[in-house]
Structure 1
């Protein structure tokens, strides 16, 4: 994207990120929640997770930040809405004796039904926190011409200026089934990247149903979380698992959206678990959670490596200090301590209780 097309803003911008603590200086933030975060596996809206997102968004707004929220979930909520409508609109006799199959409902109808229900839920929750929200349903055409992009930027700017949280979603009611490979975006991860770059955001946060990017499917025991994405060279070595049953994107789509946002001038992108309480606020506190994407990850990778060495040294000192009392044990007490440790291992006894009994054995 041409930097000249980036929207100007009045607040100071986060120019570069050399460590996670720098994320605390982000002033304009785009937060995207996927369907797997908004909707439970049974199709109902996750009131706990949505309420937590609303509280986090309002908390960072009170800290003086501007927030644009990109929300998936309309199709998932719509599926449950129309299922309930089908039950309410038919008699008990029909439900027991109907033999013909109903015509399948397309995603455009599900999105249209779910969008209204989802926005009603957002308005209810945010109003309890004295925050007003607005809805913007976008299509690819809103990013294809300069005048439409300027109209979008002006609308978002004025909403932010008046303290309103814009809630953005793709207008699936009119775009479902019409997506092409050359479109500006193919899912809400791509839409969030476009909005973040268009609005000159400091940070984009992608909320998902896992802790971040893993080197292999997180269901595998040997899977390892990648705290900082080392660059495109690592992409080929990552093994991707199955996508969420309720979403359209997946982790591969999030990596692609994150790298596009970085290429388009967004200083940082964080992929983190939207199901964890305080997940959004922890990003601004510099907590070691999620996977961070930046243009030049080298300083952050070096910082993480130094911290890993420091942690290993600290653990070695802790083990040395904890082992010193064992030297002074008598032979009988030493044998007793081994029995205590063995029993603790088999009984999953908390280490502090086992340590207390070893000390008592002296």
Structure 2
């Protein structure tokens, strides 16, 4: 499987995207603890719910990209301590991909494609290659399953906070494919006010006070709520509708895209006439 990188400024890709797919794109990002339990078992109910909703969106005329975390967390929780993160990743990544393949194929007869990134692939002249590959896969009816390539080297594992449990990856990917929606699924209802514990239903991409008050909790994966807000705002600044919500909420993805009842936290995007790409 080739390791693809992508170009982080999307303006040069708009015409190319229109040649490949004219469908609106939804990027779904699911965090490690949303997909995997404390003993390492997959949360199949959540995974099948995501798949079912992705299928519904495809039937409604959307293209879907899934950014899935959980490889290292799954292997470490299931097989215990004693191995380094690189080894955990090499164990967990094929199991993660297999789980998604089965969920899409056995129930819906839909194909998925595995795409992994390493940190250095987010730089360099060939970064646009992944965008072309992703859009080609979507045109062919394949659902890309994307995650960071955690098994490539110990140095990159040590630098994983820069990928923030795929939060950075999901945000940049959504920007580059000109997605209409980025939905970041987590284990809580959305962004909670650190002072009151109440759900913050809306915030603007320019919001700073809430982000500054958020603190990463001890023992959290790299993708804590502060990371989701930070990188969700980045996507919203590019004009993408961003939602942070619980993966366990029934039909959370479809309801968010169709703007049914308000779910989770909506990061209000920059208006189309004033986007900065």
Q: TM-score, normalised by structure 1?
A: 0.65
Q: Deviations over 1:143-189 (max 9, x none)?
A: 21232x22111110111001100000000112554355996x44300
In the alignment, structure 1 residue 40 sits paired with structure 2 residue 37: yes
Q: Deviations over 1:65-105 (max 9, x none)?
A: 0011000011122225545xxxxxxxxxxxxxxxxxxx821
Shift of 1:238: 3.3
**1:273 — aligned with what?**
246
In the alignment, structure 1 residue 132 sits paired with structure 2 residue 116: no
> Which structure shows the higher strand fraction?
2
**1:319 — aligned with what?**
none
Q: Deviations over 1:165-223 (max 9, x none)?
A: 0000000112554355996x443000101111111111111000011111117xxxx41
SS in structure 2 of the partner of residue 229 of structure 1: strand
In the alignment, structure 1 residue 56 sits paired with structure 2 residue 53: yes
CA distance in 1, matches of 2:79, 2:94: 12
Q: Deviations over 1:306-334 (max 9, x none)?
A: xxxxxxxxxxxxxxxxxxxxxxxxxxxxx
**1:88 — aligned with what?**
none
Distance 1:257 1:157, change over 3 A: same
Distance 1:274 1:181, change over 3 A: closer
**1:259 — aligned with what?**
233
CA distance in 1, matches of 2:227, 2:25: 23
CA distance in 2, matches of 1:31, 1:172: 20
Q: Equivalent of 1:168, from 146, 150, 168?
A: 146
**1:145 — aligned with what?**
124
Q: TM-score, normalised by structure 2?
A: 0.84
CA distance in 1, matches of 2:54, 2:269: 26
**2:215 — aligned with what?**
240
Distance 1:122 1:12, change over 3 A: closer
SS in structure 2 of the partner of residue 272 of structure 1: strand
> Which structure shows the higher helix fraction?
1
Matched-pair contact (CA < 8 Å) for 2:214–2:226: no
Q: Which runs of 5+ in 2 are unaligned?
A: 1-7, 272-277
**2:274 — aligned with what?**
none
Distance 1:226 1:113, change over 3 A: same
Q: Equivalent of 1:4, from 8, 11, 31?
A: 11
CA distance in 2, matches of 1:233, 1:144: 28
Distance 1:34 1:181, change over 3 A: closer
Shift of 1:2: 4.2
Q: Which runs of 5+ in 1 are unaligned?
A: 14-26, 84-102, 298-362
Paired positions, count: 257
Matched-pair contact (CA < 8 Å) for 2:175–2:240: no
In the alignment, structure 1 residue 122 sits paired with structure 2 residue 95: no
Distance 1:29 1:3, change over 3 A: same
Matched-pair contact (CA < 8 Å) for 1:212–1:273: yes
Matched-pair contact (CA < 8 Å) for 1:5–1:198: no
Shift of 1:107: 1.1
CA distance in 2, matches of 1:55, 1:193: 23
SS in structure 1 of the partner of residue 208 of structure 2: helix
